[in-house]
Amino acid sequence: MTALVETRGLSRRFGGLQAVDGVDFTLPEGEIRAIIGPNGAGKTTFVGMICGRVAPSSGSILFDGADITSMPADRRVMVGIAYTFQITSIFANLTVEENVTLAAMRRHVGRAGQRYSAAELQDASLSALERVDLQNYASKTAGNLAYGHQRLLEVAMGLALEPRLLVLDEPTQGLSDTEIEGFIELVRDIGREATVLLIEHNMPVVMALAETITVMDRGRIIAEGTPEAIRADRAVQEAYLGAPADG
């Protein structure tokens, strides 16, 4: 499979803290990949570097074979990278539809030589809202939504960017069990047309969605493999999943 994302020796230091330490990583196009690890493992810093929100201290990042290490975050959106935050980043005073329309405008207006009508942008916005089942909230003020719905709104904003890579950072945080079930189906649907990179602590969600799991600890990748292989990996059990019953 063709690699959509590659990192080579990617590192980030904050003062005396080595948050990410020389990570070599490959994400094939069309895959749903999960990154797991204990708090402080460097997961969010790592994906922040892929998305352009954190500058690497050293190493390189390739997207579809092109070096994007120095590319600013807004340009990465234009080439097809969308990132939803661990903490919601919606425009609280705007309506739900207006939030998604702004995302759609950011993607569509950034395409050289193309102009989109208000009707086309509205169609793109409502289509994204329908995919996350928020179409009935389109006229609601975003800041008045329940937290779980705000997380889904952020996913809709990501979808409106028509990404090739959608990065989801703790997306099920604050969702009810019923919403999580719907979210799993949503990500499976998204995975049919985009590559998904997921940071998630909810292990049933990870096991249900991920084709491959990358495990980080102390800024490094300590294991990578199928959900079955990761579940059985002793180093992963010790670092994150808890020691096996037989000691």
CATH of the domain at 47: 3.40.50.300
Q: What is the pLDDT of residue 84?
A: 83
Both 109 and 143 in one domain: the answer is yes
Low-confidence winner among 69-73, 107-111, 175-179 (lowest mean pLDDT): 107-111
* Alpha carbon distance 104, 120 (integer Å): 10
Q: Which domain holds residue 174?
A: 1-80+165-247
* Alpha carbon distance 184, 210 (integer Å): 10
Both 131 and 184 in one domain: the answer is no
Low-confidence winner among 45-54, 70-79, 106-115, 147-156 (lowest mean pLDDT): 106-115
pLDDT tens track for 190-241:
999 999 999 999 999 999 999 999 999 999 999 999 999 998 998 888 777 6
Partnered with residue 179 across adjacent β-strands are none
Tally of domains in the chain: 2
pLDDT tens track for 3-51:
999 999 999 999 999 999 999 999 999 999 999 999 999 999 999 999 9
Both 172 and 73 in one domain: the answer is yes
Assign 247 a pLDDT band (cuts: 50, 70, 90). Answer: very low
The whole-number average pLDDT for the span 102-131 is 78
Of 71, 44, 3, 40, the closest CA to residue 198 belongs to 44
Both 65 and 176 in one domain: the answer is yes
Both 11 and 64 in one domain: the answer is yes
User: For the chain, how big is the Rg over CA atoms in Å?
Assistant: 18
Final residue belonging to a domain, choices 162, 189, 207: 162
Final residue belonging to a domain, choices 119, 143, 162: 162
Both 194 and 239 in one domain: the answer is yes
Both 181 and 122 in one domain: the answer is no
Long-range contacts of 132-136 (CB under 8 A, 24+ apart): 132/156, 132/159, 132/186, 133/182, 134/96
- Per-residue pLDDT for 110 more than 60? no
> Strands 165-169 and 17-28: what pairing?
unpaired
Assign 245 a pLDDT band (cuts: 50, 70, 90). Answer: very low
The whole-number average pLDDT for the span 136-158 is 93
Angle at 108 between CA 106 and CA 109, to 5 degrees: 70
Is residue 207 within 8 A of residue 227, CB to CB? The reply is: yes
Assign 183 a pLDDT band (cuts: 50, 70, 90). Answer: very high
Both 120 and 6 in one domain: the answer is no
* Alpha carbon distance 146, 237 (integer Å): 35
Final residue belonging to a domain, choices 137, 162, 187: 162
Both 70 and 115 in one domain: the answer is no
Both 74 and 175 in one domain: the answer is yes
pLDDT tens track for 128-146:
999 999 999 999 999 999 9
Assign 117 a pLDDT band (cuts: 50, 70, 90). Answer: confident
Both 234 and 122 in one domain: the answer is no
Both 48 and 94 in one domain: the answer is no
